[in-house]
Amino acid sequence: MMTLITGGGGFIGVRLAARLRAEGERVALFDRRFETAALAGLPGDVETIEGDVTSFDSVHQAIASVHPDGVVHLAAILSGQCEGDPVLAFAINVGGTFNALEAARREGVKKLVATSSAAVYEAPDPAPPLDEDAPLAPISVYGMTKTVGEEWCRFYYRRHGLDARIARPGAVVGPGRVAISAASSWTTALIEEPLRGRPYVCPVAEDDSSALVYHTDLTDGLARLYLAERVPSRVYNLGSCAATAGELARLVRERVPDARISYRADPIAGFVVGRWRHVVQDFRRASQDLGWRPRCTTAAGLVAACADEVSKNPGS
Ligand SMILES: NC(=O)c1ccc[n+]([C@@H]2O[C@H](COP(=O)([O-])OP(=O)(O)OC[C@H]3O[C@@H](n4cnc5c(N)ncnc54)[C@H](O)[C@@H]3O)[C@@H](O)[C@H]2O)c1
C-alpha cells in the first residue's frame, strides 16, 4: 500500500513514515519544507514532495501523482502560532484539512487519518477524564481549527463514504521537540533542557497542566488507527496521561538535582494551556478498538523514557 503523509517533514510525520515503512508500506511525504537532518533516518525510497496544503491544486497534484491508498493528514500550525495568527491558522488547519479531504475524494482514496488534538476539549475547571463523546466548545484558536477540521472529516464520511478517521493526541513529549510553535512545547523542553544541562524558563505557571503522550506511543497509535482494516468509531483519544509543569520539574530534579528551571508566564502560552488545565483523556476506546497500549501512562514514565533517549544521544 502507498501512503501520503501531509506535514510529513514534521516531528510526527517523519516518525510515522519510519513506522509505516517498517510495516512494509510505501510512503511519500508532502510538506512545505523539508530539513535534510530530519529525514536522515528514513529509507531512501521515501519520496518527498514540496507543496502547500492551503493550495488545493498543490495537494490535488500530489495525491494524483502518488496515487496513495490512504492519506495521513498532519500538516498544521500549532497552538501558540494559531493564537497569534488566526487567519493563517484557518487557512492551514481548516483549509488544509478540507483540501486534503476533497483531493482524496476526487482521486478515489479510500481512507484518511487526520490529527486533531486534545486541545479540542478545554477544561479550565476540575473535570473527570474526557472520552471522545464529551462536548466540544473551545475558545482557543487552535482548538477551534481542530474542532472544525474534525467536522469536515465527519462530513466527508457521511456524505461521500470517505473513511476519515480522527486522532486526538495529547501534547507530544519527545527529545528534539523543543523549538516549535506549540504553546505546549514546555512539556518536552522542561524535561529535555535540564537533562542536557541547560537552564529552562517555563512559559506557563507551575500548576498549569497538559494532556500528554510520548512520541513513540503516539506514532504507534496513529499507525494502528491508519492500518486497521475497519474502525468502529470516527475519533480516538491518543493521550496517555497528564501532568503539571511543577510535577514534571519535580521528576526531572530527581535525576538532575541542580536543574535550573524557572517560570516566566507568557500570555499566549498561559492562556492556551490554562484552557486545558484539567483535561485528562480517557483512551479506553483506542485500547479496545485498536489494541493501543501506550508504554508511558504516567508523568514518571514519560520523564524516564525521555531520560533514556537523551542518554543514548547526549550531543543534541
Ligand atoms: N505536537 C503536538 O504536541 C501535537 C499534539 C496534538 C496534535 N498534534 C497534531 O499533530 C500533527 C503533527 O504535529 P507535529 O508535532 O508533527 O508538528 P510539526 O510542526 O512538527 O509538523 C507539522 C508539519 O506541517 C507542515 N506544514 C505547516 N503548514 C503547512 C502548509 N501550509 N503546507 C504544507 N505543510 C505545512 C510543517 O512544515 C511541519 O513539517 C499536527 O496536525 C498537530 O496539530 C500535535
Same domain, 246 and 234: no
Regarding the beta carbon of 75 and ligand 1, being less than 6 Å apart is answered: yes
Give the residue-averaged pLDDT of 65-89: 96
Regarding the beta carbon of 279 and ligand 1, being less than 6 Å apart is answered: no
Give the residue-averaged pLDDT of 46-60: 98
What digits encode the pLDDT tens for the residues 138-155?
999 999 999 999 999 999
pLDDT recorded at residue 140 = 95
CATH number at residue 182: 3.90.25.10
Same domain, 79 and 158: yes
Domain encompassing residue 222: 2-169+215-238
User: pTM for this one?
Assistant: 0.97
Q: Give the separation between CA 20 and CA 14, rounded to whole angstroms.
A: 10
Same domain, 117 and 161: yes
Same domain, 204 and 165: no
CATH number at residue 136: 3.40.50.720
User: Is 142 noted as a catalytic residue in this protein?
Assistant: yes
Same domain, 219 and 234: yes
Same domain, 227 and 79: yes
Same domain, 184 and 307: yes
Regarding the beta carbon of 80 and ligand 1, being less than 6 Å apart is answered: no
Which grid cell is 42? 528514513
Distance 160 CA to ligand 1 centre (A): 26
Same domain, 83 and 183: no
Same domain, 32 and 181: no
Which of 74, 87, 92 for a ligand 1 pocket mutation test, highest count of atoms within 8 Å of Cβ?
74
Regarding the beta carbon of 218 and ligand 1, being less than 6 Å apart is answered: no
- Tell the residue nearest (CA) to atom 35 of ligand 1: 75
Taking all residues of the chain, what is their mean pLDDT, rounded to a whole number? 96
Give the residue-averaged pLDDT of 309-314: 92
Could you count the other beta carbons within 10 Å of the beta carbon of residue 293?
14
Q: Is the pLDDT of residue 180 over 80?
A: no
Q: Is the pLDDT of residue 82 over 70?
A: yes
Number of domains in the chain: 2
Same domain, 46 and 160: yes
Q: Give the separation between CA 169 and CA 271, rounded to whole angstroms.
A: 20
In sign, the C-alpha dihedral spanning 119, 129, 301, 197 is: positive
pLDDT interval class at 314 (50, 70, 90): confident
The ligand 1 atom nearest the CA atom of 79: 43
Which grid cell is 47? 519520496
Same domain, 125 and 176: no
Same domain, 269 and 196: yes
Regarding the beta carbon of 99 and ligand 1, being less than 6 Å apart is answered: no
